[in-house]
Chains A and B, each alone.
Chain A
């Protein structure tokens, strides 16, 4: 009898490991989850009891949905958020002066229009009237000034501060007019203000309790944060007073239909792809990202899988150019030649990606293809280059990446490829938040950076070439920027300055074309592939949801149908 129990236990333990994927990154024991999220929806009587009095907002009280994400929130403070996921969530809670629609066309949000002088150095914004933040603070030029001044202050060294390094000062003209003076002419300024890092936070919160912004910013947006339990979930509730539902404030036509939105949205970070898929199939979640590996499994379960039409994200293998090894361009070229990217797309991406032929994707403005100059997969040539550079027997490097299964798999593929030219890669997977802080924790001393290589995607959420390309310039070293290569080249820096000094698109196109050619030859990283992110949702419960081109959730128009 004892033995039978022992066998049973043993079996259970061995196979239970398959199931315990949920917590694979969290180290500390966490408090039991209180599963109050779906509780309201268990009561069918409550259906369609939305109060019609509320400005015509017609969102059912029981329209609670769960969305699964690949990683946890890092911060709710827009200017300090470096992750695409964070930006997308913040866009639900806060509005900027300008924003994007789902096709990434600019739309006016908290401003109604803007006048710029001829040099693009002075921008005058007229603000939308009749809006207040969720804490009751009115939205006016003073509120805008508080936010813009924080963004412009480079000494604060927030992760996205460098996006606004061109702002010189701001001036309140009248209650609903604000003027922004730039240090130099900057053609892409409006695009930058549409980036999630320019979302407006309540000035009351910024002034009285700035620390709380990181864990729960108060904005003027469609949703407000109810609770964030790191590692478990964060939950947003619909702001029925949102100005986007109000025809008058929006100037004729409301921004969204009166039935758009969900009573609450609970986001659950699940780093394991298979667990996310299992949750979606079990209808425990209504939406999530979908890797191409699972398309058949998911559609078979009655879920809808769709792909982005245009994508901004590109997966890079950054080489730390401050390390002695990668200072030599021959070594960097050898690595570019030793990775068979076409095979990689088939093996790790299930074919759902296209080989990168520049440092930005075709959806980013001023993209210029380097297809004629592609580094051909050639092991012998790569070996010869390494030998020429003085490393005939290769070397050993450390590569950092995220700990989700697809990132680790990509890392392992690169490990196999580089082994062919004698480079031993130690893959170090790390949880997204820890990884971001380790990478940005660069102290200013190049010798202190922990990684030799860093594998990660990036999507320039402004959609402008400046954001995608200027980050490889010297000014964009961490922590203020995201020059993960720590690459520094005076010629390139000059081009990047010229690129934003004008708003003439022909001139800009020429400058960025030259820059893309230059950086392609210099290859501080391996641009691997353009990713078209797939997303999956349960069509019986929700509709009108998709991804922004930068790969973050677009839920503004979402409708609950279940």
Chain B
């Protein structure tokens, strides 16, 4: 090899390492001891959580460092069970089996997600009206044409083509699929008998695409297709969205407001933070304004923090204060990133939950 290149490479490496060292040195938080909080789990809330962490670390507590690895809800739950992390993120509440594995886990709703139904129909913009049963029939392959009377009757003013419907679903296991199939199971007996709910299910028909981006691209690229994506993704990318009928018979477009409305309606029946949340959902809420395909995403923490190795009084306090920040000021960061903020009654529930966290039996100051 040419000596000139070797020298250039060495100089480049020295410069890079030097700037990293300088950055680390300059950003070191003075003399205060740094407290490190670790979490892992769901990918859905990651953009919001990442923004909250950045704000918190830069503006509120420079001596706290928070790592969140977006490895998926399943991974987060197993990390919490093995006590590898201080908190976990999950799109679904713990199942009965998981609750038995992680005794005394607290559920803290962190933000609200919704699943939107998107479609590619030339000449038809957002607002196609669909009911849960029709949606289930489309994804089950029993309604096969766009101008099927079941769809046409809901949309008398729309000219629907006599084309086959191509359904698009997520091919990877995902919380989005879990919420969508849970909704279909709830509103359609034929769906719950034949398919059921899960992070991935045995789809009777359709194309599988990877991630929100894959589904969006497949729907965008193929006329007469229909798929489902997560709300924040759909809003950011200006996708067409169907208005779905809620129990009061209103057709509701997915928005941050109609999502929060569902959470507000559901909050009345939520269990306490330390009770079992198995089976809790925000689907098909009985509120005229509420969008029907909505779900919380949760932060999971141990109620008594001394079960975690390396837990200290200082770290426990930092964790409690960080959680407090997420459910209060952190919520203000949501709308800019297309995340629906928690309604006040859920925030109150979270306050009680966070205040019940202890370290060696002592409660911790949350503010």
A and B are partners in one complex rather than unrelated chains: no
Interface residues, chain A, CB within 8 Å of chain B? none
